[in-house]
Structure 1
Amino acid sequence: MMVEPRAGRPRASSREVLAEAACELFLEKGYESTSVADITQRAGVSRSSFFNYFSSKSDVLWSGLDARIDGAIAALRELGADADATAVRGILLTVVHDFAPDPSALALRNATAMGLEDELVRDTGLRHARLAAGTADAARRSGIGAIRADILGAAHAAAVLSSLRVWAERGAGHGSPESLFEEALAGIHDLPWRA
């Protein structure tokens, strides 16, 4: 049975409506207690529509950030042997640049209310690993040894994800992800790209 969307809800796209419905339900019922069927019913779309946009309930929270990470990893690959600190950091800045509040930011800010603490640890770890590997690969292609490359990758990925987490936890109007990323990079300034 299809449920009509609530009056006043803009129909920007099914993806946005699904994400909004999911976040509402995660806040109301908790992440674990919310099913895909609950989300589709709240959004007034079919189950197949949900899976046209998201591969899982968790994907609702992360798809926007994942697209940014995918773009950064592709750009890092394109650097080849020309990867240096400035180029790599410029690419990583694109992950946080103009980051608007989205489901992942809402989840980071409301992890306890949504019952997402364990999910966030696991899912943030996966994003950290992907971004760290992409950055480490860029470092290795530029001639940096494996151990140093892995350390650089982990530190830079932590800078990206930590800046997003702190920004989300502080809430709107308390700085930007870009400024927090720059602050995080200052924290690893003593870890130069090349020894």
Structure 2
Amino acid sequence: MTPPRSATRGRPPAASRELLQESAFELFVENGYTGTTVDQIAMRAGVSRNTFFNYFEAKGEVFWVELDAATERLKTALADQAAQPADATNAIRSAMLAAVAPLESQHVPFILTQYDLIGSAAELQASAMSRFATQARLLTGFAQRHGVDSATARAQAYSLIACVVAAAQEWAQSGPQRGRLEPYVARAIDAVLAAY
């Protein structure tokens, strides 16, 4: 016989990054970002505080599950590319599109649609910037290994990351019929690459 769940916990103890993320977002809507603690998130998810820290280093990390997964897909896609120096730009474009390809309408980052509930949180901006810098390093390194000089590679990488950010903002603002992120990113990247 299964023991009854504690009345203070609303979910079974099975944990995942997604369950903790969902619990955090519910609490951010109810209490705001600064009014929500890690203990509250863990309790809402029905897990211990230690379990939370098995998945995330800090409260603000819950915003980046999809972005972290996209970075892993970008690493894989870049590794799979066998581009020659003249084709580095197209290889990077393909890898970036592969990284965002799985993102459907339901994957819109909470932070893009609920920013007013979060407020200006410097820790969130810093953690986002560190992730974008990681992606830019991946793109820069790939381009350099394929014959692009470092200054051009870095400028192109940050320009392309900006394309993804702009595309994601447009995607988030497009409402429930927005569809997949990939076409938004393709349009933004193509507009910038036309200038190179």
Counterpart of 1:134 in structure 2 is 138
Structure 2 residue 111 is matched with structure 1 residue 93: no
Counterpart of 1:184 in structure 2 is 188
- Kept in 2, the 8 Å contact 1:152–1:191? The answer is no
Please tell me the residue identity of whatever aligns with 1:96.
V
SS at match of 2:143: helix
Task: Name the CA shift for 1:94/1:15 in 2 (closer, same or farther; >3 Å).
Answer: same
- Kept in 1, the 8 Å contact 2:92–2:139? The answer is yes
Counterpart of 1:155 in structure 2 is 159
Q: Deviations over 1:51-78 (max 9, x none)?
A: 2222221221112311221331343255
Please tell me the residue identity of whatever aligns with 1:131.
Q
Q: Deviations over 1:155-185 (max 9, x none)?
A: 1111122222221233321343111111101
Work out which of the residue numbers 15, 18, 41 in structure 2 matches 1:16: 18
Per the TM alignment, residue 135 of structure 1 is displaced from its structure 2 partner at its CA by: 0.8
Counterpart of 2:37 in structure 1 is 35
TM-score (norm 1): 0.83
CA distance in 2, matches of 1:14, 1:67: 14
Counterpart of 1:60 in structure 2 is 62
Per the TM alignment, residue 80 of structure 1 is displaced from its structure 2 partner at its CA by: 6.9
SS at match of 1:188: helix
Q: Deviations over 1:2-51 (max 9, x none)?
A: 52316xxx988543321111001111211122110010111221112212
Structure 2 residue 10 is matched with structure 1 residue 5: yes
Aligned residues: 188
CA distance in 2, matches of 1:117, 1:167: 22
Structure 1 unaligned spans of 5+: none
CA distance in 2, matches of 1:20, 1:67: 16
- Kept in 1, the 8 Å contact 2:23–2:44? The answer is yes
SS at match of 2:33: coil
Q: Deviations over 1:117-172 (max 9, x none)?
A: 54443333222211111111111111111111111111111112222222123332
Please tell me the residue identity of whatever aligns with 1:127.
R
- Kept in 1, the 8 Å contact 2:83–2:91? The answer is no
TM-score (norm 2): 0.82
SS at match of 1:98: coil
CA RMSD, aligned part only?
Answer: 2.6
Q: Deviations over 1:59-114 (max 9, x none)?
A: 21112311221331343255476362222111101222121434x71111111112
